[in-house]
Amino acid sequence: MAKDYQVEDYGALADGSTKDTQAVQAAIDACTAAGGGRVIIPGGKTVVIGTIYLKDQVTLYLENGSVLQGSPDIADYSVDTHKNMYKNEPHMDRCLIFAREAQSFAIEGHGTIDGNGHTRYFTKETGRPMLLRFIDCSGIRLRDVSLINPAAWTSAWLYCDDIVVDGIRIHSRSNHNGDGLDFDGCTDVRVSNSSFDTSDDSICLQASRQDKPCQNVVVTNCTFTSKWAGMRIGLLSRGDFESVTVSNCTFRDIQDSGLKIQLNEGGEMKNMVFSNLVMKNVPRPVFMTFAQQRACVDAPEEMYPMKAMHGFLFDNIIADNRELDKNSAFFITGMPDHPIANISISNVLFTVSGGGSQADADRENLPEYTLDVLDGWWPEFHLVGTLPAYGMYLRHVDGVKIDNFEVISTSEDQRPPVVLEDVEHVLLGTILSNYSLVKPKAVERRK
């Protein structure tokens, strides 16, 4: 029968100031050597650590009221914990809790992992460790814990399989780039019943290696608040993406986008469903780009050829942006001769503030996400600017169905609700605005 390993029995003082790294690691090592069990962080106490290494069949269990806190000293974070996979960001290479090639391990309990990642301790110059990083692992369970105050991302999961995240809370506002859950080249991922309040993207799906696809991912029953995106899919996209569903989630007070879906490093992205979503104060409920850009630290200097981005269904979405400015719309854009294909958008109730001028409506030749426009960075909305539609702007798309799309503007807007530019094979159902019922032929079409 598996037993519990109390970190205090291995020398941890758990006094909130002494660094108990060696004691916690000794308990983990003893647990895995005995074939598995639970390593207990005691309730009501704070255990301070530097980098620790999780191993096979170990459950790191945080009792209610316990805090596992990161050291404020960068020297306590090891340098053998792999690396951040984004270019130009080596200051985020270190981490607090690491696992490599571990099988069947978990972090559970109603306690808190506090990265202690405040800017008074960690900056770009000192280095900013992530909270969790797991590479080439399988059978991972993260349940019920609170993850707070990382100095960089909350977690990076690289090339892992069979992941369950359930009932957790992430609050990452103490420093910059505070992503929540970043799954890179992972398969069989299930995230549910969790809340996110992050200083960067709350959940990211990525594929930094060509031989490691990101696939079979389910996200459900979650709440998102973020300084940047609620969910980002892509950017790191050398590998393929397939079979993703996101359902029954709320997004609130997000600075950039609710669903930000971006393919740019040569992978293929297909077969994704987003349904039963409610958003408030989310400037771009859906923002999709298909372009070319180098994002991965290991990518060659030359750009990969563009492959394919197709098969997306968006259904049952309420988005209320009446408190925001005129830059609020669904924005989907491929590139000339490289369209995003096969999109269905249905049953959408979208409220916007209006205020678009005739000059906005007349905008033509909007910037494309070419390499000269990107200038070494990511395809962001500001590079294009105010759109010529107040509800939806689609460009370079092949195969789209739009039905029961209702846009309510709280003030007059000179732009049409929907503009389709270089869009082929279109099936339009009911598109309703509070100014007029827009017939399919009245939707503005541009070549």
E strands, 37-84, in order? 37-41, 46-49, 52-53, 58-62, 67-70
CA proximity to 400, closest of 321, 273, 283, 313: 313
Distance between CA 18 and CA 7 in Å, rounded? 13
Is residue 352 assigned to a domain?
Answer: yes
Residue 204's region, left for phi above 0, alpha for psi from -120 to 50, else beta, is beta
Q: Is 258 helix (H, G, I), strand (E, B) or coil?
A: strand
Average pLDDT, the chain: 96
Alpha helices in 77-138 (DSSP H): none
**431: in domain:** yes
What total number of domains does the chain contain?
A: 1
For residue 153, is it within any domain?
no
Contact of 131 with 86, CB cutoff 8 Å = no
What DSSP letter does each residue of 311-338 carry, written as one string? EEEEEEEEEEETTS-S---EEEE-BTTB
**Domain residue limits at 227:** 201-446
| pLDDT (0 to 100) of residue 436 | 54
Looking at the chain, how many residues does it have?
A: 447
Tell me what pLDDT residue 438 has.
55
Do residues 74 and 118 touch, judged by C-beta distance below 8 A? Answer: no
Contact 186, 214 (CB under 8 A): yes
Per-residue model confidence (pLDDT) at position 443 = 84
Q: Which residues, 6+ apart, have CB-to-CB distance to 347 below 8 Å?
A: 315, 316, 317, 403, 404
Residue 423 and residue 395 in contact, taking contact as beta carbons nearer than 8 Å: yes
Closest CA to 70 of 129, 10, 1, 127: 129
Assess if residue 138 is contained within a domain.
no
- The rounded distance, in Å, linking the Cα atoms of 282 and 251 is 7
- Residue whose tokens read 């170990």: 58
> Nearest-5° angle of CA 133, CA 138, CA 143?
70
Contact, 240 vs 212, CB < 8 A?
no
pLDDT at 1: 64
Q: How far apart are CA 149 and CA 138, in angstroms?
A: 26
pTM higher than 0.95 = yes
pLDDT of res. 441: 47
187 within some domain = no
Looking from the CA of 399 toward its CB, the CA atoms found within 13 Å total 11
The verdict on residue 14 lying in a domain is: no
Which strand (E) or helix (H) includes residue 285? strand 284-290
- Rg for the chain, CA atoms, rounded: 23
Angstrom distance (rounded) from CA 387 to CA 401:
21
d(CA 106, CA 41): 13
d(CA 132, CA 346): 38
Strand partners, 247: 220, 275
Q: What is the number of other CB atoms lying within 10 angstroms of the CB of residue 152?
A: 29
C-alpha angle 256/218/231, rounded to 5°? 5
Please tell me the distance from the alpha carbon of residue 156 to that of residue 161, in angstroms, as a whole number: 13
C-alpha 201/C-alpha 236 separation (Å) is 13
**CA 222 to chain CA centroid, nearest Å:** 13
Residue 344 forms part of a structural domain:
yes
What is the rounded distance in angstroms from the CA atom of residue 180 to the CA atom of residue 169? 10
Tens place of pLDDT per residue across the chain (447 aa) = 679 999 999 999 999 999 999 999 999 999 999 999 999 999 999 999 999 999 999 999 999 999 999 999 999 999 999 999 999 999 999 999 999 999 999 999 999 999 999 999 999 999 999 999 999 999 999 999 999 999 999 999 999 999 999 999 999 999 999 999 999 999 999 999 999 999 999 999 999 999 999 999 999 999 999 999 999 999 999 999 999 999 999 999 999 999 999 999 999 999 999 999 999 999 999 999 999 999 999 999 899 999 999 999 999 999 999 999 999 999 999 999 999 999 999 999 999 999 999 999 999 999 999 999 999 999 999 999 999 999 999 999 999 999 999 999 999 999 999 999 999 999 999 999 986 555 544 589 888
CA angle in degrees (0–180, nearest 5) for 170-155-312 = 85
Question: 294 lies in a domain?
Answer: yes
**DSSP state, residue 403:** E
Distance CA 418, CA 384 (A): 17
